[in-house]
Structure 1
Amino acid sequence: MKLVVTVVGKDRVGIIAMVSQILAENNVNILNINQNIMDGFFNMVMIAEISASKINLVDLQKTLKEKGKEINVDIKAQHEDIFNVMHNV
């Protein structure tokens, strides 16, 4: 199952490292990363594969959300299908 992980917030050192560490610790494979910084605001979208992971999506979402609060960014993880439906124009 593929996930779309989004991160938005004020730029700071280590955002990618912190999110990547959580995914690696849970055997979630990062397939693609796109990130940019505009006027001091950080924006990243990751496509990841969770099939080999033992963590379920709800627990991963909770872990990422808690890390986001800790580092003052908004982190969301959504099943690829849900993301596609929500962003279909």
Structure 2
Amino acid sequence: MNKAIITVVGQDTVGIIARVCTYLSKHHVNVLDISQTIIDGFFNMMMIVDYSESDKDFSAMVGNLEDLGDDIGVRIRCQREEIFTKMHRV
């Protein structure tokens, strides 16, 4: 299994989850877990995904998600799980 962590942060607006999940579904990326909150109008979402079956290579997926974030006015970051874990170890 190839896991990645996707974070989405920005002003809340209609359709953020739908647009991100539509992209992932279209490219055969499975959402394993998802958490989202809205605090004082700011949207924050974290997803754990499995990209083992994706029709995009990892770097293309990262770029596509960053572009999608630009389109919908949020910041989308995607990192391999092992990199995310090492960066956020206490």
Same fold (TM over 0.5): yes
Deviation of the 1:54 alpha carbon: 2.1
TM-score of the superposed pair, with normalisation by structure 2: 0.97
Percent identical among aligned pairs is: 46
* Aligned counterparts, 1:2-81, within 5 A: 2-81=3-82
Partner Cα separation in structure 1 for residue 18 and residue 37 of structure 2: 15
Query: Which secondary structure does the structure 2 equivalent of 1:12 belong to?
Result: coil
Deviation of the 1:53 alpha carbon: 1.2
Q: One-letter code of the match for 1:53?
A: S
Tell me what 1:82 maps to.
83
Partner Cα separation in structure 1 for residue 10 and residue 66 of structure 2: 13
Partner Cα separation in structure 1 for residue 17 and residue 85 of structure 2: 23
CA-based RMSD of the aligned residues comes to: 0.5
Structure 1 residue runs of 4 or more that deviate by more than 4 Å after TM superposition: none
Query: Number of residues paired by the alignment?
Result: 89
Q: One-letter code of the match for 1:31?
A: L
Deviation of the 1:52 alpha carbon: 1.1
Query: Which secondary structure does the structure 2 equivalent of 1:53 belong to?
Result: coil
TM-score of the superposed pair, with normalisation by structure 1: 0.98
Query: Which secondary structure does the structure 2 equivalent of 1:59 belong to?
Result: helix
